[in-house]
Structure 1
Amino acid sequence: MPVSRTERLLNLLIALLNTRYGLGRSELRDKVYHDTSDNDVAFARMFERDKNDLRRMGFEVETLTDAGWAEDDSTTTRYRIGKESNRLPEVQFGPEEWTVLLLASQLWERAALGTAARSAVRKLQSSGSLAAVELPAGVQPRIKPAGQAFDDLVAAMHARHPVTFTYLAGSTGREEVRTVEPWGLGSRFGQWYLMGFDRARKSVRHFRLSRFTSAVTTLDRDSYSPPAGFNIREELDRLPELPLRTAVVRVRKGRLLALRRRAEQRGGTAPAADGAADDGGYDTLRLPFRDPEVLAEEIASYGPDAVAVEPEELVEAVRRRLRAASEFSAAPKPRYEFPGTGPRGTRKGTSEDQLQRMLQLVPFLVHNQGLRIEEVAAHFGISRRQLENDLHILICSGLPGGYPDDLLDIQWEDGRVYISQDLDLTRPVRFTTEEASALLTGVETLRGLPGVADGGALEAVALKLSAAAGDVGRRAAALSGPTVAPAAMAVHDTVRDAIAGRRQLRLTYLSPQRDSLTVRDVDPIRLYSQDDVWYFEAYCHLVQGIRNFRLDRVEELVPNGRGASAAAAGAGGVPERLFTPNDGDTTVTVQLTRQGRGLAEDYYAERVAELPDGGMVADIRFGNTAWLPMFVAQHGGTARILAPTGLGDAARHWLADALAKYEG
């Protein structure tokens, strides 16, 4: 019976780690691969693929040749992996430093870097026990990267492949195809920027991800070398903020209270040309803005309730979004089928994922003998069945020959796991580029966050991580996160004090979706953010349920003299998801293009079905379906409603009414 790919990779790794002189291809083919076929070409391809997989996981596969022989001579070339060069250096952290590390690892909202950050922390935990730490009461900042384009750009940047995408040029207003060597990716002024070498223009350019009008395509057959010492944070610090400008927007009378308040704060309520309300019952507002694409996304989401008048680039940006959303919503429905009844759609685990987990599992078991199997599974975020599958592969793996003393020896008796033969796999593998980037960027992002840890702990963690990461740590300079310090600091402090003291608050809140101002009593549970936008979750006595409130929409917040009720007592800890589901939520089937597929993860899709064009269909739960037309318009042709049919029809009619304001 052929071994699994994971077991083959593990046996190859153990063999190469435990040879000083090196093993030739014929020895590996016989003792590790047990390949008795005559197909030399097929074996050579498989061996090269496996070597590349091990290199991607951080192992340096050395090629050794005797003097006078060529490296391409397969009969004399030998291979090995040096143990010390591939191991993570031992590093110790104190309680405050562990606090910083855990917060940094939990920053990434999306899976790509979130998975890498959690893997990096498990490697640091593998060689010892986690220090007893207490995270700040209910405080959890998070980074929400800019859609699928972010994941694609990070992967291309770390692999050093050029990318192509369609870009809406700010200077000309035209869509152009760009081919770029991605040097760095960072957040400034509430926007994500790509900086790199534009091959067509033969110069260094920066690109705002909000102006991407297509999915990112990676040119994986091509490569480049970024300039030495490039630091995206330093480059973005020199980037000037867009100038403040004024937009003229017609707003339906009695609607869009939040938009009106922004205009009033700037003295921007303007009369219509004839001194009366516009035809159809609209008022004219003057709104401050910097980026027309950002404002266009908001104006488009209001549909027929708001109509951009000037400047013309704003008008065109809104029209473009509405037209794309309308055309996509009217397109034929795709054929799709949800796979099985498993958990919500996430990236399927690969052999490399499983092998990397097992290489963390062995040192973890060495330093934590006798843990209950459920505790081990929970530590690695997998089920007991997945863990037992890993353990079965491990006990069948070892040195070539397969003698009892040459195999990993792991037992799990009475629900507890022990390891007695570890084949010197007692230290975790060094960080990958993604792991180092995720943790180091996360630590840097925490600067300025109140009440997390003092500056000394942040500096110490950054220095220790950089030393442990080595060369791959320097690549973290290609990634820079947003500032997570809350703008509404007074509100943040009031909520945080109420959480710590278990006190109830009287809240006056502006809800844009409901277009109303309400007063309610709330029991704060936790504070968290997506980039620089902060929320607090609380039990709301007005609706008798858990709700989320944005800090920048709080009009007034004061203690009401009562203690928090028992309804909020059981909601401790850090939530996996930003929005808490409720029994009354509606499941909506949404189609997403390749460019918009990241929304499935942003909105915690219950299940997904892949489409041939790279898009997907997702089942997502929404608490308030009245705003779904806003959701479709906001994402401008990358999302549409398939079911329930009534919601899809309502969105199409709503988009048609909005588009008619611009097209006749």
Structure 2
Amino acid sequence: MAPSTGAAARRSTTASAERLLNLLIALLDRESGYTREQLRAIVPGYDRAGNQDAFERMFERDKAHLRSLGYPVEEIPDDDPWASDAQLTPRYRVPRGSYRLPRVRFSAEESAVLAVAADAWNDAAQDRLARRALDKLEPALSGEAAPGTDVQPTVAVADPAFEPLLSAVLAHRTVRFDYVDRTGAFSQRTVQPWGVGSRYGAWYLAGWDADRRAQRTFRLSRIISEVDVTRETFDPPRDFSMGGQLARMVSQPPQLCVVAHVREGAGQLLRRIAAPATSPAWRAPRGYDAVELAVHDTESAAEQVCAAGPDAVVPRAPVAEPEAEGPVRADTQVAVADAVQRRLEDARAFQARMPGVHVQWGKQRRQGAAKASTEQHLARLLHIVRHVYAHQGAELEETARHFGITDAELVNDLQTLFVCGRPGHLPDQLIDASWDDGHIYLGNAQELSEPVRLTVPEASALLMGLQTLQAVPGGDSRVVRSAMRKVATAADALPLADALDVPDADAVAEPRDSELVTQLRRAIAEHRRVRLRYLVASRDEVTERLVDPARMIFSDGHQYVRGWCLQANAPRTFRTDRIVGCEDAGEAQVHPRMDSEVRSSIQPAKRRPVQAVVVTDRRGRWIVEHYHAKRHVEVEVPAAAGADGSEHDDAGRDRPHDGARPRSARGPRPLPEYVAAEVDFPTLDALSSLVTRHAGHVGVVSPPEAVAAVEQWLESSGTADT
């Protein structure tokens, strides 16, 4: 964005926030309220509306902004006794006291877990809501220092269905969507959504399936249409708990065993979840090692093997009759070998259609370029009023640091407050703001200084962050539960806490630390350095690192250790299930850059050497969000023609023509069948592994060197002589 354009956008946002603040003060000022026309005349900024229709649209937006911040704008009958029925128009007000934060107080431990929960979201919209909730709760938080935590959960959402489903859960609205189950069967579902939550790295919806007349749980990544939120409402069951539903999803131990042959010195990620084969009957040919994989089903085994590409194959039969019956069953081995072959064929067939794909990006805004919204700016202005009223005379520089803005930005906000006030806007009606001596004082804004209750979306964002803490090994469930109930009280919505909490009967499902994680936690607590042998999956190699660990992170069902890597001389994050070895390496050092990190990030590096354009179908659409695509656009992919000239889908099954699948007239709108996305990858092998892991749902169209590498990977996969 050009500097002049950015400055204009900031001026526009400031002007809108100023208008909203003046409107809020007016609505609070008179208990009998104002009509629309009166507000249009007394609120500065409405005079810029060119006509009545423009004013009406502006006023409706402004009401929605204020309500979303927790101020209940009411519409009441006109109290003019001399007006006729035809002349009566509604009046608007914010009743005094209707927005005040209920009496609630958080202990030092509860305040600490709230800060962790508010810091958990990687989703921008939910992150804003959670942080706004924490800002509102500031007067109720403890000022005492609480024991620090070495655990930081992160909540990432890569499913487009999340936002509409969460809004439907909060509004108790029935939804419709297209769903594909584990077998690949499509169906349209009508569901009363009771709750959403994450477990084992995936997001789930629980609710009442109206068609099957039973409670069901749906994985969000299998929703392949837009979510249609209907006007039909329902009352959720009083005893339902999404936290309990998630806690009961206990990970089952693997039931099957399959042998794979892995190239010597390669396939490190596959080796990490395998063990050396125990029977000589499954010995590998020269240049390979035989390993046994414990898996839940044949498809998950095939996915892991396909991800290794040319470095792993599944033999269909042993080289000799086993001397004794072992864990590997012949039918399982054949089923996995068939699944691997089918997946690779699907991947090759889908990639073969990529030359016919033409990508035209058009004009679109890149992610992360969105300007600060009017609502965010107004929320900050109101927070400044509440904070300064509680800390009159606070230093300007310290206050700016508290809000994470520059001194100049804080001065601009104070100047905005200085020109806002009650209708009439005479000097004694304006907010009194002074900061000339470097200390801030505010007056004449008593109504705005009162703590404000949380809205349901704000409370939900904070509660879901707390819910994630319940799934973190080593978390204090008692403190988290107490904080959840107080957050729900702050929103006057206790059922929210009941719906997200884990009942006592399900508490036994809480995970526990592994021996490695316990060792890492001890190293953090005792300020010890560790020597790690770490598997770098993108390069398929095991490296040795000296690390001063600082914090444990829990995200997407995985645990990570964040610390200072001496080899990189920078902060780095290591996934614990890829740590091959860990040993004490002496006393850790203090690293100022590490200590100054407010948030521990596990986001991918901003610059990666391989930039590729990938194409995904509806089943693989999550890649756009998960891999932080720079841009994406809907594309058309040529159909794969069969020998008889009929069209087939990516797996070779007959594909119905558009419109052949029966649909409800009010059904959800399908997502684009295919999307092209520009994504960065650390290596060409990492890109190629994605194509074979998600066989038939991902292809690569550019650049030519990436296409050539993927095609070579595909041709070499599954071809070793075993």
Length-normalised TM-score, structure 1 = 0.80
Q: 1:465 aligns with which of 476, 481, 487?
A: 487
Cα distance, 1:516 vs structure 2: 4.0
Which residue in the other structure is 2:169 paired with? 157
**Structure 1 residue 425 displacement after superposition:** 0.4
| 1:588 equivalent among 586, 605, 611 | 611
Letter in 2 for 1:379: H
| Matched residue SS, 1:310 | helix
Task: Indicate yes or no: 2:233 matched with 1:224.
Answer: yes
SS for the counterpart of 2:161 is helix
Residues 18 and 228 of structure 1, relative CA distance in 2, 3 Å threshold: farther
- Give the alignment partner of residue 444 of structure 2, picking from 411, 421, 425: 421
- 2:90 matched to 1:77? yes
Counterpart residue type for residue 368 of structure 1: H
CA-CA distance at 1:459 after TM superposition:
4.1
TM-aligned CA distance change 1:399 to 1:188, over 3 Å: same
Cα distance between partner residues in 1 of 2:363 and 2:345: 33
Corresponding residue of 1:399: 422
Do 2:179 and 2:188's aligned partners in 1 also have CA atoms closer than 8 Å? yes
User: Which stretch has the larger CA shift, 358-367 or 3-12?
Assistant: 3-12
Instruction: Please give the residue correspondences for 1:354-433 in structure 2 after superposition, counting only pairs within 5 Å.
Output: 354-383=377-406, 386-413=409-436, 415-433=438-456
Task: Give the gaps of 5 or more residues in structure 1.
Answer: none
Tell me the residue number matched to 1:492.
Answer: 517
- Which of 496, 513, 522 is matched with 1:475 structurally? 496
- 1:427-446 counterparts in 2 under 5 A? 427-446=450-469
Counterpart among 85, 99, 102 of residue 112 in structure 2: 99
Structure 1 residue matching 2:234: 3-state secondary structure: coil
**Deviation at residue 402 of structure 1 after TM alignment:** 1.7
Post-superposition CA distance 1:315-334 (Å, at most 9, x none):
76676577657756873233
User: Structure 1 residues 467 and 314 mapped into 2: Cα distance closer, same or farther (>3 Å)?
Assistant: farther
Partner of 1:564: 588
The aligned counterpart of 2:23 is 12
Any idea what the Cα deviations from partners look like across 1:227-275, whole Å, max 9, x if unmatched? 242322233455576684426465443232442453427x677856xx7
Q: Is the 8 A contact 2:305 2:340 kept in 1?
A: no
Match of 2:74 among 39, 45, 62: 62
The letter for the 2-side match of 1:522 is: V
Give distance in 2, aligned partners of 1:486 and 1:587: 37
Change (3 A) 1:512 1:129: closer
- Over 3 Å counting, the alpha-carbon distance change for 1:359 and 1:318 in structure 2 is farther
Check if 1:112 corresponds to 2:138. Answer: no
Judged with a 3 Å threshold, the aligned counterparts in structure 2 of structure 1 residues 619 and 288 are, in CA distance, closer, same or farther, namely: closer
For residue 350 of structure 1, what is the aligned residue in structure 2? Answer: 373
Instruction: Report how far residue 176 of structure 1 moved.
Output: 3.2
Say whether the 8 Å CA contact 2:612–2:706 is kept in structure 1: no
Which residue among 127, 134, 139 is the counterpart of 1:121? 134
Q: Structure 1 residues 41 and 629 mapped into 2: Cα distance closer, same or farther (>3 Å)? A: same
State the secondary structure of the residue aligned to 2:595. coil
TM-superposed deviation, 1:363: 0.5
Instruction: Kindly report the root-mean-square deviation, in angstroms, between the aligned alpha carbons of the 2 structures.
Output: 4.5
CA–CA separation in structure 2 for the residues paired with 1:284 and 1:413:
75
**1:436 deviation in Å?**
0.8
Asked if the contact 2:531–2:584 (Cα under 8 Å) also holds between the matched residues in 1, the reply is: yes
Give the distance between the partners of 1:661 and 1:220, measured in 2 at CA.
Answer: 48
Check 1:600–1:577 CA distance in 2 against 1; reply closer, same or farther (3 A cut): farther
Give the partner amino acid of 1:108: W
What is the match of residue 553 of structure 2?
A: 528
Partners of 2:459 and 2:154 lie apart in 1 by: 18
Correspondence 1:334 to 2:360: yes
Q: Deviations over 1:20-63 (max 9, x none)?
A: 12222332232236559895555444434433343333332222
Distance 1:23 1:16 in 2: 7
SS of the residue corresponding to residue 182 of structure 1 reads: strand
Count of matched residue pairs:
642
Q: In structure 1, the residue corresponding to 2:275 is in which secondary structure? A: helix
| Alignment check: 8 A CA contact 2:158 2:626 kept | no
Bigger shift: residues 235-244 or 375-384: 235-244
State the distance in 2 between where 1:285 and 1:268 align: 8
Q: Is the 8 A contact 1:485 1:532 kept in 2?
A: no
Inter-partner Cα distance in structure 2 for 1:577 and 1:524:
12
Higher mean Cα deviation, 242-251 or 100-109?
Answer: 242-251
Cα deviation for residue 470 of structure 1 reads 1.1
Counterpart Cα distance in 2 of 1:571 and 1:74? 66
Q: 1:630 aligns with which of 683, 689, 704?
A: 689
The yes-or-no answer on 1:287 pairing with 2:293 is: yes
Q: Confirm or deny: 8 A CA contact 1:194 1:207 kept in the other structure.
A: yes
Q: Match of 2:204, as an amino acid?
A: Y
Encode CA deviations 1:635-664: one digit per residue, 9 max, x unaligned: 668877777653454235434655x879xx
Is the 8 Å Cα contact of residues 98 and 133 (structure 1) preserved in structure 2?
no
1:27 and 1:371, CA in 2 relative to 1: closer, same or farther beyond 3 A?
same
* Identity of matched residues, %: 34
Cα 1:281–1:492 shift into 2, 3 Å: closer
- Report the alpha carbon displacement of residue 217 of structure 1 after superposing the two structures with TM: 1.4
With over 3 angstroms needed to count, the CA separation of the structure-2 counterparts of 1:553 and 1:48, relative to structure 1, is closer
Is 1:167 matched up with 2:204? Answer: no
The change in CA–CA distance for 1:431 and 1:600 in structure 2 (over 3 A counts) is: farther
Using a 3 Å threshold, how does the CA distance of structure 1 residues 624 and 387 change in structure 2: closer, same or farther? farther
User: How far off its partner does 1:460 sit?
Assistant: 3.5
Q: Which residue of 2 aligns with 1:646?
A: 705
Q: What's the offset of the Cα at 1:196? A: 2.6
1:175 Cα offset (Å): 3.0
Give the secondary-structure state (helix, strand or coil) at the position aligned to 1:417.
Answer: strand
Tell me if the contact between 2:348 and 2:714 (Cα under 8 Å) persists in the aligned partners.
Answer: yes
Distance 2:245 2:603 in 1: 38
**1:324-375 CA deviation, whole Å, 9 max, x = no partner?**
57756873233356869xxx71654322222223222221122233444454
Residue of structure 1 equivalent to 2:642: none
Cα distance, 1:51–1:544 mapped onto 2, change above 3 Å: closer
In the alignment, the residues of structure 2 paired with residue 234 and residue 351 of structure 1 have an alpha-carbon distance, to the nearest angstrom, of 38
1:464-492 Cα deviation digits (max 9, x unpaired): 22322212x53355557999977553222
| 8 Å contact from structure 2 (residues 627, 679) kept in 1 | no
* CA apart distance, 1:528: 1.6
State the TM-score, normalized to the length of structure 2. 0.74
Deviation, 1:426, is 0.7
CA contact (8 A) 1:506 1:557 kept: yes
Distance 1:129 1:139 in 2: 20
CA gap of 1:220–1:324, structure 2 versus 1, over 3 A, is farther
* 397-406 vs 38-47, which moves further: 38-47
Q: Cα distance, 1:281 vs. partner?
A: 7.4
Contact kept, 8 Å, 2:524 with 2:549, in 1: the verdict is: yes
* Of 53, 59, 66, the match for 1:47: 59
Where does the alignment leave 5 or more consecutive residues of structure 2 unmatched? 1-10, 315-333, 636-671
Distance 2:236 2:85 in 1: 31
SS of alignment partner, residue 41 of structure 2 = helix
The answer to whether the Cα contact below 8 Å between 2:467 and 2:500 also exists between their aligned partners in 1 is: no
Would the aligned equivalents of 1:513 and 1:627 in 2 still touch at CA under 8 Å?
A: yes
- C-alpha displacement of 1:121: 1.0
C-alpha distance in 2 between matches for 1:449 and 1:37: 51
Greater Cα radius of gyration, structure 1 or 2: 2
